[in-house]
Amino acid sequence: MGRILMKGNEAIGEAAIRAGCLNYFAYPITPQSEVAEYLSRRMPEVGGVFLQGESEVAVGYMIFGAAGCGARVFTTSSSPGISLMSEALSYISGAECPAVFVNIMRGGPGLGGILPSQADYFQATKGGGHGDYRLLVMAPAGVQEAVEMVMKAFPLAEKYRNPVMILGDGLIGQMMEPVEFPDELKSEPSNNDDWATSGMETRKSSRRNLVKSLFLDSEQLEAHNRVLKAKYDRMRREEVRYEPYNLEADYKALIVSYGTMSRVCRTAVDILKVEGFEVGMVRPQTLFPFPEKAIEEAVRRESCKVAVSIEMSMGQMVEDVERSVRGRCPVEWFGKSGGDVPTPEEVIDAVKSFVKELI
């Protein structure tokens, strides 16, 4: 099959199938519902299962159950739905089960709106649920990248026995782009004989596995949380992904932006380059782990006067940008979160005004 034109939501559904995931539980919500609609048709064609839960709370625990049994499983939702799944995310992380969650973000808080947003940055990267847990969070900037991230998410979730989240804004779900599904990203489910409750008949060992997040003994819980921390530290060492843009120039400002917002910023950087006003960009592809070192390196450039976090939220990622910059230059924020994606012109005005204030 050559390239086909797909809506992000459809492509995400197809990517999961191509990655070998045949278990999908979900509940419809705009702007993500097309994943469920697409898979309600495709899953039966490939011998997979799509089951619509009675709520996102139920879906979260259906994912936990399937993951605990060692099945490759995923779900998709949008912001309010992910809030309802956050308890399950904490339990799944605590019980060290692999699963893939896709959040096609809409405006919030509360019911908010149905237009694109990136206001679930904190929820995705700092918790949402309770306890000392982290999700490995990947943020695609286009439909092809969403496909590749979904396909990579399953082996990553299994590598760490931890949920992986794909964080896309509403545009990622709704826009159409040509895509292909790289065969080399297909993967076999990893061996889970030593932990999953997959049934004694299919397993070689005679050991009884137990999937749980309850540790009443303080020493046991301490040891368990140390194990989790070691995993998150390993993610920080091994899984950071980012895309540099125009960093070879002598840029006056460094933009940090992710998702479709970064594509607006890229257009702004191109327009400014023609004007002779150089701006560099680091686009985080993983939000946890965050590309701290890349940003710190980038602001060391002598010409760089300011770092600007540009996001479709009222300033969430900016805190991680500040942490990464380590006081080497001022850090500013620009963004919108009502549903209108900032235009390249608005980005240009914001960046210029920050640079001007410093001259």
Partner 1 sequence: MEKLEGIVAFVGNYGSGKTEVSINFAVDRKRAGIEVRIADLDLVNPYFRTREARGPLSDLGIDVVLPPEEFLQADLPILSPAVAGMLRQHGRLTVLDVGGEDVGARVLATLADSLRDKHVHMLLVVNPFRPFTDTVAGCLQIRDKIEKASKITVNGIIGNANLIDETAVQDIYKGYDFVRALSAESALPLMFITVAAELLPAIESKRFDCPILTIERQLVPPWKKPVQLKQGGSG
Catalog residues that contact partner 1 under the rule CB under 8 A.
3-7, 10, 14, 30-31, 34, 38, 41, 113-116, 170-171, 174-178, 260, 263-264, 266-267, 339, 341-344
The CA distance from 139 to 289, in Å, is 11
Q: Which is nearer to partner 1, 26 or 115 (CB)?
A: 115
CA nearest 320: which of 256, 233, 226?
Answer: 256
Residues 6+ apart with CB under 8 A from 355: 252, 253, 305, 306
331 touches 306 (CB < 8 A): yes
Closest approach of Cβ 263 to partner 1, in Å?
5
Give the end-to-end CA distance of the chain in Å, rounded to a whole number. 55
Closest approach of Cβ 99 to partner 1, in Å?
25
The CA distance from 229 to 182, in Å, is 33
Q: Which is nearer to partner 1, 6 or 235 (CB)?
A: 6
Closest approach of Cβ 356 to partner 1, in Å?
24
168 touches 139 (CB < 8 A): yes
Omega before 44 cis (within 30°)? no
Closest approach of Cβ 265 to partner 1, in Å?
8
Closest approach of Cβ 341 to partner 1, in Å?
4
Closest approach of Cβ 268 to partner 1, in Å?
8
Q: Which is nearer to partner 1, 4 or 46 (CB)?
A: 4
Q: Which is nearer to partner 1, 1 or 216 (CB)?
A: 1
56 touches 7 (CB < 8 A): no
Closest approach of Cβ 342 to partner 1, in Å?
8
Which residue in this structure is represented by tokens 């499983």?
73
The CA distance from 58 to 273, in Å, is 50
Closest approach of Cβ 294 to partner 1, in Å?
22
